[in-house]
Amino acid sequence: MRRKKRLATRRRRALGCAAAALALLLLAQTLLHTALLLPIQIVRRVEDQEGVQGARVVRRQWEPGVYNWTNLFYLTANDNAALLTSVYITPRARGWGGGHTLLLDCTAEQPLHAAQEIVTEDTGLGTREYHCRGIHYFFFGRVDDPAIETVEIRLQVDPAYKGSAGEDVSLGYLQLTAPILQRDGRRYFLVNHYLPEGAFLRDGGNRVIGKDREGNTVTTFQIERTGYASTGVVKGQTAKAST
């Protein structure tokens, strides 16, 4: 019996030491901002930097075609703001890194809030022979008017672009329908689309449209809040463009 009690005591001590070591590791990672084990750690750090407290995860979306196969986009929000943050495993950080985010202020009283993140798939800004192969568009926001049941994005494209299979292109615009996401009594949306070289307009005016059940327009406006990033950053060729 004494031998069994000793073994049980040793196991408890070993588990306690392991738990303490893990807690110290996580604390060191948080303070040093390196070798982070979890992608949500990056997201929470960015939220703190932006002054956003108590944010909840609305959606986590895996997008392996943007930076690298580990790339995740997090849509998080509290009562005053929504954020879209990209994270991915990078050798430079020896763990999860990235943390590029776009903050959308939702404090104004309006039926719909919207922002867009534009990620260029390129050789890197500042390179001698800069070349952009395509653009990843991410549209997100919050729906505050209960009359709005559908959110549509009108993505301006090159007039010569006729669209590929599954795309709805008309009069120089590609139309996207964003799914409505529910979280803690509020409604959000997130939709993304990729356009190859020759299809996009670098200075296009993209619009968001909120429609009611009958398809009538409740509100529409050009999306002004925009963030920019480059896939060349992950390849170590340049720094991200500012938002």
| C-alpha distances in Å from residue 31, one per residue of 26, 34, 45 | 9, 8, 10
Question: Tens digits of per-residue pLDDT, 116-141?
Answer: 999 988 766 666 666 778 889 999 99
The type of residue at 192 is: N
Please count the other Cβ atoms lying within 10 Å of the Cβ belonging to residue 163: 13
Question: Tens digits of per-residue pLDDT, 200-238?
Answer: 776 668 999 999 999 999 999 999 999 988 876 544 433
Handedness of CA 25, 31, 32, 36 (dihedral sign): positive
Vertex 72 angle, CA 158 and 206, to 5°: 25
Write down the pTM of the prediction.
Answer: 0.80
The DSSP secondary structure of 66-99, one letter per residue, reads TSSTT-EEEEEE-SSEEEEEEEEEETTTTEEEEE
Bridge-based pairing of strands 95-105 and 112-122 is: unpaired
Give the closest residue to 84 by CA, choosing from 69, 70, 65, 71: 71
pLDDT score recorded for residue 133: 82
- Distance, in Å, from the CA atom of 93 to the CA atom of 25, rounded to the nearest integer, reads 15
Both structure tokens of 34: 């390196």
Question: Tens digits of per-residue pLDDT, 82-92?
Answer: 999 999 988 77
The type of residue at 38 is: L
Question: Tens digits of per-residue pLDDT, 164-203?
Answer: 888 999 888 999 999 999 999 999 999 999 998 878 776 6
pLDDT score recorded for residue 6: 56
DSSP H stretches of helix in the chain: 2-32, 39-50
43 class by beta-carbon count within 10 Å (0-12 exposed, 13-18 middle, 19+ buried): buried
